[in-house]
Chain A
Amino acid sequence: MSYEPKNPRDGVEITVGYRGLGGQPDRLEKRTVQPAEGDAPPWDANTPFAVVGTDVDRTDGIAKASGRAKYAYDITFPGMLQAMILRSTVARGVLTGLELDEARKMPGIGAVVALKEIGNKVRFVGDAIAAVAGTTLHAVRDAIEKIRATYEAEAHNVDFLQLPDAPMLGIAGDIDDEWPADENVDGALAAAKVTHTGTYRTEVQTHSSLETHGGVAKWNGKDLEVWNSTQATFGVRGELAGALKARGIEVESLTVHAEFIGGGFGSKFSAGIEALAGCLLAKEANAPVKLMLDRFEEHTCTGNRPSALMQVRAGLDDKGTITAWDWRSFGGCGFNGGGGSVAVPNYYTSQAKKRASHKELAMDTDPARPMRAPGHPQGWFGAELFLDELAAKAGIDPLEFRLHNDDQTIRQDQWRFGAERFGWQKARARTNDPKARYWHGVGLASARWGTLGNAGRPAHGITCRIHQDGTVESRSGAQDCGPGLKTVMAIITAEELGLPAERVKAVSGHTSDPSGPASGGSTTTPSLAPAVRHSAWLARQQLVELVAKHLGVPENQVACTGGKVGAGTAMLPWNEACKLIGPNPIEARGKRFDNYKQDPFFRGVCGCQFAEVEVDTWTGIVRTTRMLAIQDCGVVIAKKLAESQVLGAMIQGVSYALHEQRIMDRTSGRMLNGDFLRYKITGPKDLPQLECIMHTVHNGHANTSAAGLGEPPSVAAPAAVANAVFHALGVPLRHLPITPDKVLAALANRKV
């Protein structure tokens, strides 16, 4: 890559778009963008990458495969105390008494703190009441037994469909309430050639991270250090600082560490009461305190994806175009009545008269937290299964129906390519022998995710250092929960400096380093990739200056490539060039500039998935046998890691479609299956054959066209599986998860 010290003021012409999928035409176009003053020039579809998009190993692969990776749960200090939280046993009421003195007197107890005061409301079974720290968890458990907490219980409800403002359901499970009149939609429905209506339901899903929430707190005078299992190091710092200040506790410095995190999926943005309790206990005990939740607490007290009830009615004209689309949905939320909203695809209905409404219903349970594409898997399941039913009614193949109605070009190409690769036509034409035990079916569904990174957060930055001995460091205070921020940092820095990725030491997860975003919304990579690039680009300029001076050549002739720095035939090996640096390393702070004002090639990312299922008609068990994802990945930075994100999202989607369901006891308000035995998640034996096609799309939204991949591929999977079950059985199963009881009931009711 040639060295360009300044961006041309009149903009840079770049090539955006993508090369044809499987022999389809290229969709490349020229665009002029205006990078911010001081930003690195943009990469585009013609950039010859040496490291980006190659098979670079995960930078922390060896740490993870050797057991050396230290998670919050693994942090230990001499004299450290263990802690637990006393949880409410009533789902709704008021705390009327709390006696902690007996607990304080128990052997081995270092601190006891109240987390609620008498008179405070208790909002769900598992609400935090008090916390205890002691020398062992056994001592702590014994002390917790001695705490006397009394409640004035009130009537509670843990089933959102039993709430007074929930809609009425008929015997078949359909919403019976009349649709309110709407001239627009009613007219379009009346004029439609084919109309259809359906009610769809999903259940509460828990995040089920393998490492539970919590961490270690350690005070040194007024300085506080916290090791936390979090998706938001800076968020936790801010939240704890605020909460401690509100309690009158002086904090001079607060550092949060999260080098390795054992899963989060949206549940670990907040420090939570557990991290605050750890800090309070550590202060009172004057000792480091570890407080990690147990598995039951993890299921019941750390958020969830709320349940949803959705109803849609729609109509088609004689060409099969959707001309009317009427949607209403209800979210089964926790006590705060938030987070249950449902997202619906909008690219099928651009020709339709539309209406949509949503209502949140608050139960006396743990509040929702974002979970991998919040609102999307539930809404896409409802909408995509409905579309298959509607297409069936009109006698149109589901793929043809989507090709006809989908207004997004990228996905049009993906549908065609995917159908060919999956063998859609042949698989769809296959019929099941009604006498056979196993029935098969195939289904498809689309995906869309709308963000390309947090732009305009100048506080987000990356430090790049080049040391005299040739070592290169890239540092971010943001966290790498596993998707691979560190690997992305190493790859982009290496690309810019002309080095192999393993030469770059990437460090993340300490708030003493530059600020970064919370890992949510699939924004970590697209938010930080441009800042990584900027930091390496600035550091390179400083090295180039030294080398140019040393060689006596103009700076614009110096290149960093193939592990060498220099001009023409005078190329210095990297380590030789770095000797010019001197004892103080080159240090550059990259910034996250705003996204270009010019439109990107596409806002967000597109995708689609195909699934094949096998239904055991004797037992009702559904197995997903084969899946294919065509996923817009922006520009793939780290190939192995990008693929891993997509495959993981597909499997989690299967889990949501077939297994996962929180079951509540209406009487006690307690979760009945708060463990992994009765709350089933997909295990190794449930795994289908999987294929993921990473579709590179040069968006041209910033100096790198990286996209985040945690969420986009999780949108389509449950819907594709549900559609495949519909194909296999000939009747739609409109209530996730598709468990054997529902399959057997559908088979029994099926008109033969």
Chain B
Amino acid sequence: MTEPKKVLATFQVNGEPHEVAFLPHKTLLEVLREEMNLTGTKHGCELGECGACTVQIDGKPILSCLMLAVDAVGKDVRTVEGLANGAELSQLQHAFADLGAAQCGYCTPGILMTADALLAENASPTRDEIKQCLAGNLCRCTGSLTIFEAVELAAARCRGEKAEPSKESIYGS
């Protein structure tokens, strides 16, 4: 038995071409992480059940653990590393950082990619639309409420509204 041979292909990732040699049975998740060192996209379950590996293909969120890398050749791939404009984080990323919408943070990149695709389609999503859209992204620390608030905050800021994070209540101090 011999080891399988790598194939060479050019991926369009985060607006730049990446020429990569990879084993043809590798998933997009594996190739992004192992061959391009884009480790922002996470391994969660590799069964398409948790959403941690979500990236965008031509603007639509997909689970990179269920897609063969060869199928992404010729498509526009966007990962969490491509959300920022150079050093400047996107409004959505800022909102997540401002609200602390991450506890352990492991589910965060997948959620960002899903929510970013939502905001591209719908500038004013309702809470129910956000829940529906993020239904495939699990968060075990369950900062989910803050996650919804962060998406709403980002949407408001993108619309040019002066939105402030909601205030928590401390009593008796």
Q: Are A685 and B132 in contact (CB under 8 A)?
A: yes
Query: Hey, which chain B residues are within 8 Å of A265, CB to CB?
Result: 140
Query: Hey, which chain A residues are within 8 Å of B80, CB to CB?
Result: 66-67
Query: Hey, which chain A residues are within 8 Å of B49, CB to CB?
Result: 295, 675-677
Shortest distance between the CB of A502 and any CB in chain B (Å):
12
Q: Are A683 and B138 in contact (CB under 8 A)?
A: yes
In residues 110-164 of chain A, which contact B (Cβ within 8 Å)? 135-136, 138-139, 142
Please pick, from B2, B102, B112, the residue contacting A58 in the complex, using a CB distance under 8 A.
Answer: B102
Query: Hey, which chain A residues are within 8 Å of B45, CB to CB?
Result: 295, 675-676
The listed residue with most B CB atoms (<10 A of its CB), out of A57, A142, A635, A697, is A57
- B44 at the binding interface (Cβ < 8 Å): yes
Shortest distance between the CB of B173 and any CB in chain A (Å):
4
Bound-state CA distance A690–B167 (Å) is 14
Bound-state CA distance A21–B170 (Å) is 10
Please pick, from B2, B39, B138, B173, the residue contacting A19 in the complex, using a CB distance under 8 A.
Answer: B173
- A647 and B47 contact, Cβ closer than 8 Å, known pairs A18-B172, A67-B79, A210-B106: no
Q: Are B97 and A53 in contact (CB under 8 A)?
A: no
Query: Hey, which chain B residues are within 8 Å of A55, CB to CB?
Result: 165, 167-168
Q: Are B97 and A62 in contact (CB under 8 A)?
A: yes
Q: Are B142 and A647 in contact (CB under 8 A)?
A: yes
Bound-state CA distance A258–B42 (Å) is 16
Of A69-77, A324-332, A379-387, A739-747, which binds chain B?
A69-77
Of B56-64, B68-76, B143-151, B155-163, which binds chain A?
B143-151
Bound-state CA distance A633–B170 (Å) is 9
Shortest distance between the CB of B168 and any CB in chain A (Å):
4
In residues 633-682 of chain A, which contact B (Cβ within 8 Å)? 633, 635-636, 639-645, 647-648, 651-652, 655, 675-677, 681-682
- A20 at the binding interface (Cβ < 8 Å): yes
Shortest distance between the CB of A240 and any CB in chain B (Å):
23
Query: Hey, which chain A residues are within 8 Å of B165, CB to CB?
Result: 55
Q: Are A65 and B171 in contact (CB under 8 A)?
A: no
Bound-state CA distance A660–B41 (Å) is 27
Shortest distance between the CB of B99 and any CB in chain A (Å):
7
In residues 695-711 of chain A, which contact B (Cβ within 8 Å)? 695-697
- A640 and B100 contact, Cβ closer than 8 Å, known pairs A73-B42, A684-B134: yes
Per-residue interface assignment for chain A, residues 33 to 74, with 1 indicating a CB less than 8 Å from any chain B CB and 0 otherwise:
000000000000000000001010110111111111111011
Q: What count of chain B residues pass the 8 Å CB interface test?
A: 71
Bound-state CA distance A635–B171 (Å) is 11
Please pick, from A57, A65, A677, A687, the residue contacting B93 in the complex, using a CB distance under 8 A.
Answer: A65
Q: Are B140 and A696 in contact (CB under 8 A)?
A: no
Shortest distance between the CB of B32 and any CB in chain A (Å):
11
Q: Are B138 and A65 in contact (CB under 8 A)?
A: no
Query: Hey, which chain A residues are within 8 Å of B172, CB to CB?
Result: 18-21, 695-697
Query: Hey, which chain B residues are within 8 Å of A681, CB to CB?
Result: 138, 140
Binding site for A on B (CB under 8 A): 1-4, 23, 25, 33-34, 37-47, 49-50, 52, 79-81, 83-84, 89, 93-94, 96-109, 112, 130-132, 134-148, 165, 167-173
A-B contact list, 29 entries, CB within 8 Å: A18-B172, A18-B173, A53-B173, A62-B89, A64-B97, A65-B96, A67-B109, A74-B33, A108-B3, A138-B4, A209-B106, A209-B140, A210-B139, A260-B106, A482-B103, A639-B168, A640-B99, A648-B103, A675-B49, A676-B47, A677-B49, A683-B135, A683-B136, A683-B138, A684-B139, A684-B148, A685-B132, A687-B131, A696-B172
6 closest residue pairs by CB, A with B:
A67-B40, A262-B106, A64-B105, A482-B104, A67-B80, A61-B97
